[in-house]
Structure 1
Amino acid sequence: MNSAEHTHGTHGTNGTGGAGTETEVTVLGLGLMGAALADAMLTGGRRTTVWNRTPGKAEPLTVRGAAEADGIRAAVTASPLVIVCIRDYTAVRDLLDPVADALAGRVLVNLTTGSSEEARVMAEWAAGHGAGYLDGAIMMTPPGIGAPETVIFYGGDEKLFRTHEPVLRLLGGRPTHLGEDTGTASLYDVALLGLMWGTFNSFLHALALVETEGTTATEFLPLATDWLTGVSSFMGLYAQQIDAGEFVATDASLATQLAPVEHLVHESRARGVDTRLPEYTRDLIADALAKGHGLDSYARIIDHFRTAAS
């Protein structure tokens, strides 16, 4: 769609022009994710300025109607809403420090991956230069940007988020505000990634086991996905128990789960499959039993992680 058909957004305090205006957007960083973000803005009909430190990456976007800025200052000053998605927070500061004065009155949306501490420091830095700030975490790979089911977490001023939510919705149909703390998005991001990696590791361990009998990954997949649906049904109960601090088993006690895990360790060793993952689970359960929690549910294992953290 021709960008000339759209009206310019206006600069309000911290860039908080009224929701529903055709806000102009700048996207800094055109790696796979940054390019996908810019593409989603173009698809949504927003006048989009792009900039990348390495030249040449903007061409696919300029063909679609994006304007390529000739420098970082020109990129920042082109729009009231500036989205940045690059390597890390240090790179963001290195990029924006020389033009920090240009951020005054604008909104910076940082979708760079980092820690909660880095997000809070970045928010203070932005506020010190008169900019509104939202910190986000993208829970999707680049091909999913713009899809209705894509979730992006945001932390920061809720009014600022609500003002720009129509624009942010173009990046993913489920923009989720987690609260005023700018660090929360990064925290939730790594927590959910940990859940993902743990699931992947267990899935791959299971595949390594069954392939010793000639079962292919594709053949085993329906059984695994059906089982994961069942496993997820336990999570609601465990969440309630953890919040209440009461762990009486209503499904299966820790004592009854030790033997099956031992079987998994034995089966893995016998078939030449790495045993460290099931051994870790066995040791968690054995430790809980030694502390007198044999009649508790698996949710009691949270004590281990809390103790390790403290």
Structure 2
Amino acid sequence: MSERITTPFGFETTALEVVEGVDLSGRRAVVTGGASGIGVETVRALAAAGAEVTIAARNVEAGRQVASELSASTGNKQIFVAPLELTSQDSVKAFVASWDGPLHLLINNAGVMATPLTRTPEGWELQFATNHFGHFTLTLGLFDSLRAEGARVVNVSSAGHLASPVVFEDIHFERREYDRWQAYGQSKTANVLFGVEAGQRWASEGITMNALMPGGILTALQRHITPEQLQERIKLRGGGKPLQLKTPEQGAATTLVLAVSPLVEGRSGLYFEDCNEALPNEPGMTDGLAAYAHDPEAAAQLWKVSEETLKIGETA
């Protein structure tokens, strides 16, 4: 097993601190969900480092407002906006069709959390359809652009993955009682497994993919749960103790470590938290990486199931 990767950064580090001294001129990035929460801070840091950034957002108007504000504050005029609704495969494919040229950084940041049971028109459970299927189609669709110059794909996962492995026998809760946290958990486990299998398939293509836990941050992601439910989750996540929350600026830092740090060059299938590679999750821990989230067999099965469900063939 490779030695655990540690960096000079930690819990309190901000995204802008991670990119200090980094030059991303000539690099092109896409940030899904870049119009809100930690997505905004991710775009800010990439733009501050000189990258051309496309905000892929459901709400294009909100995206334009963010792009305008960040262009003014960073001095980077290369911030663009494109519509993307991850729940809609047609929208994802339209985004892919509109992309032209190389892509150096794909930040799969957008997501939904703890939604009431909702199904897409295809009958898929909403959280899995959005958090995994949407990003799977997007990433594979952009494969040629990513391969063009060797790229990094960063998947924003969560400690929520500890709530559930991917339950392949019933991903969409058709035969078991729906639990919003288990549904969220398996979608976040999928974000990690995606990188594990991508590392096997794409190593020779110069594309790497890693995942992260941004930390506990109060954003619009919590819109589907009540304040009382949120406090209960915060207590649970803190192991009964108050959970130390991060600012959005701190929450985006680990994303930027995986996007720009030379320490992760050429590595795939990693899972980071607080800007460092996570330790294995052990009984009683409320953080770390679950064994099932980096199981190669589960990763291969997820890729196969995703291709079959989405009716897309092997790209590489």
Where on the TM-score scale, by shorter chain, does this alignment land: which range? Answer: 0.3 to 0.5
Greater fraction of residues in helix: 1
**TM-score (structure 2 length as normaliser):** 0.39
**Structure number with higher relative contact order (C-alpha < 8 Å, ≥ 6 residues apart):** 2
